[in-house]
Amino acid sequence: MVRKHHITAWVLFLFCTLFVECKENQSADISQPEASKSSITYAQGFTVQKLEDYTVLEVTQPWVGANTHYKYALVPKEKLAAMTFPKGEYDAIVGTPVEKIVVTSTTHIAAIEALGELKTLVGFPDTDYISSPAGRKRVDEGQIKDLGMNEVINTEMVLVLNPELIIGFSINEDNNAYDVIKRAGIPVVYNGDWVEQTPLGKAEWIKFFAPFFQKEAKADSIFKSIESSYLQAKDLAKKATQKPTVITGGLYKDVWYVAGGKSWMAQFLEDANADYLWAGGPETGSIGLSLESVLEKGQQADFWFNPSSHTSYAELESVNAHHKEFAAFSNKKIYSNAIEKGAKGGLLFYEQAPQRPDIVLQDFIAILHPELLPNHQLRFIKPLE
């Protein structure tokens, strides 16, 4: 049975892509020169400004439809004791580099691991969904504690762990557990990487994590490499002589959710030079349709990607016999992001794909245009059994 934490992650993907220390600081007037401009290029949900003595991190899209912005001051620990800020100027003050951290989404783990800071992770809600081998090893050794489920995170365990920072994931600002944690003096910083609608925008959130560890240069280098790899793959896809037709998604409680025309998944398909049948629409999330309407429009589509959580043709047929009417079913051209799982059942796609959109794009190109990447080994998107 899929637990609530992972259901939340799956539903967020379906609907959206297919889809500090809060002390009572004394007021003081801190004179700072003009901040350097944020180096964020693709991500829309946060900015980073480097001042002379500290860094300002602002999260502008912590969740879909958020009207509240969050502003955090990241201060080197050797300067923290000597600095004061006007009360209410920042939502949290965090000493850096952080040495003990709790994160609340598997996408956070991929970024932290890429920065070489997995050793700082001491707690996570529902550790079964950590899929990276290094992460699983730390869980098995008891170095990463299970904190229950994200929506009802075990605040007592958090207080026992006493992390220097919690990276929060939420779908709105109502989270009583976070309120308790903040009142205990543990900084909570919201992360909204899941709200981003472009592949490179999601990947650029590694620059959100970097200042907490004073590793901005490393994050810039990692992202630059990913960006270059992604753009090269995109250029390669333009050489394809065919543009296969594509449908996405599947039934969930009698509603078929396809990726909206401006969604993360639609962008991958466009960059892979596919003819996505719902491209061009304004939806950044998913579109709920009837099976009949999808059949009418996509019955003859060449490829079908991500049929809900189903991983085999037999399973797809048993769920609904009408699935056999799609040409992609008959021609065995259905591919899923739910096949590759970690040791405890967590999906690698949810944890690692946002951090490596270049490999996701290469997967799509190798499937849609095999002549362009004949030696590519599929990593995230694989054929149904």
Domain boundaries, the chain: 4-25+35-227, 232-383
Q: What is the pLDDT of residue 38?
A: 67
Q: Give residue 124's Cα distance to chain centre.
A: 15
Q: Do β-strands 188-190 and 55-59 pair in parallel, antiparallel, or remain unpaired?
A: unpaired
Neighbouring C-beta atoms of residue 385, cutoff 10 Å: 11
Q: What is the pLDDT of residue 12?
A: 46
Q: What is the pLDDT of residue 175?
A: 82
Nearest to 248 by CA among 290, 294, 312: 294
The DSSP result for 215-238, as a single string, is -HHHHHHHHHHHHHHHHHHHHHHT
* CA angle (224, 169, 43) in 5-degree steps: 30
How far apart CA 62 and CA 99 sit, in angstroms, is: 24
Q: What is the pLDDT of residue 37?
A: 59
193 and 107 Cβ atoms separated by less than 8 Å: yes
Which CATH number, 3.30.1370.100, 3.40.50.1980, 3.40.50.720, 3.40.50.300, labels domain 232-383? 3.40.50.1980
* CA angle (279, 283, 287) in 5-degree steps: 85
Helix (H) or strand (E) holding 259: strand 255-259
**Cis previous bond, 97, omega within 30:** yes
Query: What CATH code is assigned to 4-25+35-227?
Result: 3.40.50.1980
Q: What is the pLDDT of residue 312?
A: 95
Q: What is the pLDDT of residue 17?
A: 41
Q: For the chain, list residues with pLDDT below 50.
A: 1-34
* CA angle (177, 180, 186) in 5-degree steps: 105
Indicate if 232-383 has the same CATH topology as 4-25+35-227. Answer: yes
**Structure tokens of 283?**
């939806």
Report pTM: 0.89
Side-chain-side CA neighbours of residue 1 (13 Å): 2
Q: What is the pLDDT of residue 170?
A: 85
Q: What is the pLDDT of residue 32?
A: 46
How far apart CA 245 and CA 313 sit, in angstroms, is: 20
Q: What is the pLDDT of residue 36?
A: 59
Q: What is the pLDDT of residue 152?
A: 79
